[in-house]
Structure formats: C-alpha cells, structure tokens
Structure 1
Amino acid sequence: MSIWRRIGDAISALANGEGLSTIFDTLRTPPERSVAFTIAVIALSAKMAKADGLVTRDEVSAMREVFQIARDDEPGAARVFNLARQDVAGFEDYARRIRAMFSESGDCLCDLMEGLFHIAMADGSYHPAEDAFLARVAEIFGMGEAEFRGLRSRFVPDAAPDPYAVLGVSPDMPMDDIRRHWKRLVRDTHPDAMVARGVPPEAVKLAEKRMIDLNNAWEEISASENA
C-alpha cells in the first residue's frame, strides 16, 4: 500500500469535527511514523503558507520534490494541505503535537525542519514571516539557536554558510572531535538511517543536499586547518 493510500486512510478515520492535528496523537509507532512525518511536513507547510499569505507554484513543486508525489497522488497531498489550512488549531499546537510524536527522535525533527526550509526557499525568497515561523517551530521542537542558525545558513543564501555552524561544532574544538562529529552526521544522513527513524522512503531526497553540505563544510574546515 502506498504512503498516500495510508495517509488517506488516516484522514478518513478522523471523527466528524476532528481537526487534522489530532492525527499526531495517534501515529506514534512504525510504520505509521512515516505517514505522520509526511502529514507533519505538508501540514506545517500549509500553516507556513498561511503565515506569509500566499502559496506559490514553486512551493507546490517543492513538495513534489521532497515526497516524489505522483500525479495520481496529488489530490491526497492537496487534501492534507487544505485540511491544515482550514484547521482552527494554530501552528504552535501542531508543532507541540509533532514534537510529542517524535519525542524519542530529535534527528527526525531535524529532518522535518529541512523539509520545511526546502519548501520555504522554493520560490527563491525567504519572507520574514517564514523566518519567524520556522524559528518558533524550531524552538518548540527543542532545537537550539545555534543549530537553527546552522540549518538556516544551509538554505538561505544571504551569506556564505559558516562551515562550523553547518556541522554544529565550534572552531575551538579539536580537529579529531570535529572529524568524529562529521562522520556521525554522515552516518545519520544515510537513507537507511533516515527511513529507520521514520522518514518515508519518498522523502529521503532530503539527504542529498544535507550530505553535500556536510561534506563541503568538512572539506572547508580541514583545508583551512592544513593551510
């Protein structure tokens, strides 16, 4: 059964009058977590689009890229998006429920934030409302300010990414420690590791950009050390 059929079943199971956010209280274990991850990214994207006031064709295309949505599955994705936009629950309530759902996997929350940044930057601009939205979601997820800045620097091209921020390390750390941290991040970025923690196979494309960014950051740091 495709993930979009499973998402449709989860939505159909909602009682009359229940908002989409209630799904996050029930989908907590594999394989339902991959369904929950997909719904979470699309639902928060809908709330983010509401925050900056518009939904662009680029953002819709970005969702197709993240989840490899086939044409036949687009109505299902659109249904999730529209339910989230119409839900009276605010984005902070969504974020809190999603954090509780993935309470044992901070890495999965980071994966989710990457999906949101990818969609936010799809139209080539980064709206202040999107920045405020993502910063607040990251805060609710328990992501530290430095980690959020590092994530932001990888997606928002307002300055050259700080390689130390990208890896989440400090310049005064020993090189051996930085190398070990980089290798751990690379292991955690492997598609098999991402699927194991709840990222659906349809979304492992997120790993491609992250792997490039991590390796570029490490190469820049090691080159400066050996200069």
Structure 2
Amino acid sequence: MTIWQRLGDLICSLPGSCTLGRALDDLIETVRTMLSGSPEDRRQVAFSVSMIALSAKMAKADGVVTRDEVTAFEQLFDIPAAEHQNVARLFNLAKQDVAGFDAYARKLAGLFEPGSPVFEDIVDGLFHIAKADGMVHQDELAFLDHVASIFGIGEAAFARISSRHIVPEEGDPYLILGIDRAASNDDVKRHYRRIVAETHPDRLIARGVPAEFLAIATAKLAALNGAYDRIRRERAFA
C-alpha cells in the first residue's frame, strides 16, 4: 500500500473528513494515536500530513493561493492520479486560512527526535512553494522563519536554508554550503561530499521521508552543486 493510499484511508476513516467537515487538528491527533503501534508508518504518514498541510498554509501566507504555488506543490509530491482526490481533501482543508499553523507545527515537531534533519527537509519543501510565484514575500518568509524556530532550526541554519532558495545563483556559495570561507580546498571538497551524501535519497528515506517526496532532495542537490561549482571555479581546483 502506498503512502497516499494509507493517508487517503486515514482521512476517509474519520467522520465528516471526506467532506472537509473535521478540523485539521483532530486529524493530526488521529495520526498520532492510530499509528502509534507502527513507528515507520507513523513517521511517514506524519511527514506526509506535515508537508501537505504546511504547504497549503504556506501558499496562503501572503493572502492568496496562486496557481503557481499549487503547481509547485504538485511538483514536490509524486501523487498517483488515483490519489489526487485524497490529497486535495487535506490540502483544501488546510489552505482555508493560515491560523493555527504554529500549533500544528509544534504537534508535528513532537513526532520526530529533536534536531532531526527531517525538519530541514520540510522547510526546504516549503521554500520551494514560497518562491513559485517568482519571489518569497515577507509574510511567507516570516511564516518560514517561525516554522523553522518551532522545529528548533537556529538563525544560522535558517539563513543557510534561505540562501539555497532566494536567488541562489547570486547568494554566497559558502553560506549555501554551510562552510567557512577560510576553509582549505581539501576541507571544501570533504564538506561538499559529506553534505551531498546526507542529501542522497536513501538518507532521506532512512530518516522517515517517504519515497514519494524525494523531489526535495533533487532541488537541494541542485543548489549545493551550483554553489560548489562556483567555489571550484573561483579557486580553480579540480
């Protein structure tokens, strides 16, 4: 059974949820309790709910959900045609307003270990949607900053994540890679190889990111590769 089938079954098992009549908060509590006996399913479904709902609220953060943002959401998720309706139910429920996103993010933060890399994966995905209309609006950036702080992502780490998305080709490549400008060529190479390995799809799956969401890794790798290429050309090393 795919992650979408499990999520669809979960949504439609709740009274009224298939007509969007049940509060999102109730759905999250159900995720926490119904899947408590299956850590792997619990982690993957929780990540799915987190990304779908926070993506919808991210799109609503500047007041309007645009077609570009919906398209970006669809790019981020590999959704089988048969499951579009199930995912749309949750997305539409969440996008009604931005209210409550902070409490919702706190609930999701409790589903993973403190400091888990999965929180950065989520913020990366939200940035992908935020920039879909050509820029990250101030209200969207404030939304992202607040979600990141709830997840325990500090200011320096958030700046590094932001730099991968806000005009990365013009940003500081050292900030994008998260390495000091004074690092040696060998240190830069080792650091780059390590963070690329950490971004490999197999690593994402190991920390509870469903295979359907691996477009997150592709987008992140593109930014990391671009930054490394700029440093390599600047320093003229192979």
Q: Same fold (TM over 0.5)?
A: yes
**Residue equivalent to 1:142:** 152
Deviates more, 1:131-140 or 1:28-37: 28-37
| 1:18-97 map, 5 Å | 19-23=26-30, 25-26=32-33, 27=35, 29-85=39-95, 90-97=100-107
SS in 2 for 1:36: helix
Deviates more, 1:79-88 or 1:161-170: 79-88
CA contact (8 A) 2:8 2:87 kept: no
CA contact (8 A) 1:146 1:165 kept: no
**Residue equivalent to 1:11:** 11
AA matched with 1:125? M
| 1:186-201 map, 5 Å | 186-201=196-211
- Structure 1: which 5+ residue stretches go unaligned? none
Q: CA deviation at 1:87?
A: 8.5
SS in 1 for 2:117: helix
- Structure 2: which 5+ residue stretches go unaligned? 16-21
The CA distance in 1 between the partners of 2:189 and 2:30, in whole Å, is 40
**Structure 1 position 210 matched with structure 2 position 217:** no
Q: CA deviation at 1:102?
A: 1.8
AA matched with 1:148? F
Deviates more, 1:52-61 or 1:84-93: 84-93
SS in 2 for 1:30: helix
Identity of aligned residues (%): 46
From 133, 136, 139, the counterpart of 1:126: 136
The CA distance in 1 between the partners of 2:133 and 2:97, in whole Å, is 25
CA contact (8 A) 2:78 2:213 kept: yes
AA matched with 2:62? D
The CA distance in 2 between the partners of 1:88 and 1:22, in whole Å, is 19
AA matched with 1:117? F
AA matched with 1:212? A
The CA distance in 1 between the partners of 2:60 and 2:228, in whole Å, is 37
Q: CA deviation at 1:204?
A: 0.6
From 167, 170, 186, the counterpart of 1:176: 186
AA matched with 1:6? R
The CA distance in 2 between the partners of 1:119 and 1:137, in whole Å, is 14
| 1:80-119 map, 5 Å | 80-85=90-95, 90-103=100-113, 106-119=116-129
AA matched with 2:192? W
Aligned residue pairs total: 227
The CA distance in 2 between the partners of 1:203 and 1:65, in whole Å, is 9
